[in-house]
């Protein structure tokens, strides 16, 4: 069975960076990517729990769409092979295309680079009643440029502050923000990359550029620690998800999404008085 709302909240605490806003990096070294805090270790039961949660999320999403008081932004951020696509399929695979949308962010185009880095992001925000899922996000702009030395530490700090302000604007205008950092180990990433090379049906996902990024593993972990510490806020907290286990990854994300939707006290809009006593002929 999926964890209850109360149990889930207690399990979540160690995996959420403090929102005190002091900007200190949040260390990932003590968080094992192989951990399974939301699972009893039985893979079959875990898969059944994910399926139950996906059905529950579907029902809640339909009510969310009818309610129209909120918008939901789900951000999935992580290294190559961390499972962003798989999370979307596992957690949201049962939801209707009506009101649920996904954006997979790539490197900005020349047209986009001619504007501020948040310009293209703002255009993809969910409307009232909608769920928007980001596969990667604006956080790429404080990862790739930092690791490659394209921006200075001062510019990175400016971007952290700008992102916090941007997300506060969204939250204050009705957007609920869930940010998940899918945390896998170096060893697990190596195995998944090898699977892509070995499997002809997965080879299209592999690029030789992935190996260059893998060589920068330590630098990316450091950049993640910096952004987690600087941008986990009361209005947009981060959740680190141990993701070496695909089943557990989906179970944890689905539980948090379910709990968040249930906490909104969603309701159907009031009936039109003109419908009282109406008989369809």
**Residue-averaged pLDDT of the chain:** 94
DSSP summary character for residue 99? T
Weakest-pLDDT range from 68-82, 224-238, 266-280 = 266-280
Q: In what order do the strands lie in the sheet with 175-183?
A: 100-104, 131-135, 71-78, 175-183, 238-242
Model pLDDT, residue 96: 84
Task: Decide if pLDDT at 23 tops 80.
Answer: no
Which distant-in-sequence residues (6+ apart) come within 8 Å of 174 by Cβ? 69, 70, 71, 128
List, for residues 93-132, the tens digit of each pLDDT value: 999 888 999 999 999 999 999 999 999 999 999 999 999 9
- Top pLDDT among 166 and 22 is at 166
User: Does any domain span residue 126?
Assistant: yes
- Top pLDDT among 10 and 272 is at 272
User: Does any domain span residue 277?
Assistant: no
CB atoms within 10 A of CB 112: 15
What the block records as the tokens of 55 is 């059905």
Q: Tell me what the mean pLDDT of segment 27-49 comes to.
A: 93
Task: Decide if pLDDT at 145 tops 80.
Answer: yes
User: Does any domain span residue 280?
Assistant: no
Task: Find tokens 């190596």 and name the residue.
Answer: 190
Per-residue pLDDT band for 7 (boundaries 50, 70, 90) equals low
User: Does any domain span residue 274?
Assistant: no
Domain of residue 146: give its range. 5-267
What's this model's pTM, rounded to 2 decimal places? 0.94
Q: Are 148 and 158 in contact (CB under 8 A)?
A: no
Q: Are 206 and 197 in contact (CB under 8 A)?
A: yes
User: Does any domain span residue 144?
Assistant: yes
What the block records as the tokens of 137 is 């996000």
Instruction: Report the C-alpha gap between 166 and 232 in whole angstroms.
Output: 13
How many domains is the chain built from? 1
Q: How far, in whole angstroms, is CA 120 from its chain's centroid?
A: 18
User: Does any domain span residue 133?
Assistant: yes
Kindly report the CATH number assigned to the domain that includes residue 107.
3.40.50.300
Length of the chain measured in residues: 281
- Top pLDDT among 174 and 2 is at 174
What the block records as the tokens of 144 is 């790739």
List, for residues 184-217, the tens digit of each pLDDT value: 999 999 999 999 999 999 999 898 989 999 999 9
Model pLDDT, residue 225: 97
Which distant-in-sequence residues (6+ apart) come within 8 Å of 82 by Cβ? 182, 183, 184, 189, 243
What the block records as the tokens of 153 is 């530490």
Model pLDDT, residue 6: 63
Instruction: Give residue 3's region: left, alpha or beta (phi > 0; psi -120 to 50).
Output: beta
Strands (E), 89-246: 100-104, 131-135, 175-183, 238-242
User: Does any domain span residue 275?
Assistant: no
Q: Are 70 and 174 in contact (CB under 8 A)?
A: yes
Model pLDDT, residue 21: 62
User: Does any domain span residue 273?
Assistant: no
What the block records as the tokens of 184 is 């896998």
Task: Decide if pLDDT at 22 tops 80.
Answer: no
- Top pLDDT among 23 and 275 is at 275
């Amino acid at each position: 069975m999926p964890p209850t709302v109360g149990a889930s909240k207690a399990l979540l605490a160690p995996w959420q960076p403090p929102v005190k806003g002091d900007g200190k990096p949040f260390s990932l070294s003590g968080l094992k990517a192989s951990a399974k805090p939301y699972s009893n270790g039985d893979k079959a039961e875990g898969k059944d729990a994910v399926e139950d949660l996906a059905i529950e999320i579907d029902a809640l999403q339909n009510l969310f769409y009818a309610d129209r008081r909120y918008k939901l932004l789900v951000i999935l951020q992580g290294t190559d092979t961390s499972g962003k696509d798989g999370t979307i399929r596992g957690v949201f695979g049962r939801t209707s295309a009506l009101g649920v949308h996904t954006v997979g962010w790539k490197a900005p185009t020349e047209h986009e680079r001619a504007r501020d880095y948040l310009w293209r992001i703002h255009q993809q925000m969910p409307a009232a009643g909608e769920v928007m899922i980001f596969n990667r996000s604006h956080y790429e702009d404080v990862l790739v440029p930092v690791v490659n030395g394209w921006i200075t530490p001062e510019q990175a700090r400016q971007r952290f502050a700008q992102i916090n302000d941007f997300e506060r604007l969204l939250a204050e205008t009705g957007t609920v923000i869930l940010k998940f950092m899918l945390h896998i180990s170096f060893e697990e990433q190596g195995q998944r990359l090898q699977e892509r090379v070995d499997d002809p049906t997965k080879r299209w996902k592999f690029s030789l550029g992935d190996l260059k990024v893998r060589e920068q593993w330590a630098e990316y972990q450091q950049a993640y620690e910096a952004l987690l510490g600087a941008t986990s806020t009361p209005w947009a907290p981060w959740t680190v998800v141990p993701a070496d286990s695909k089943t557990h990854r989906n179970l944890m994300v689905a539980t948090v999404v379910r709990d968040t939707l249930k906490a909104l006290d969603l309701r159907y809009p009031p009936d039109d008085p003109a419908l009282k006593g109406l008989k369809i002929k």
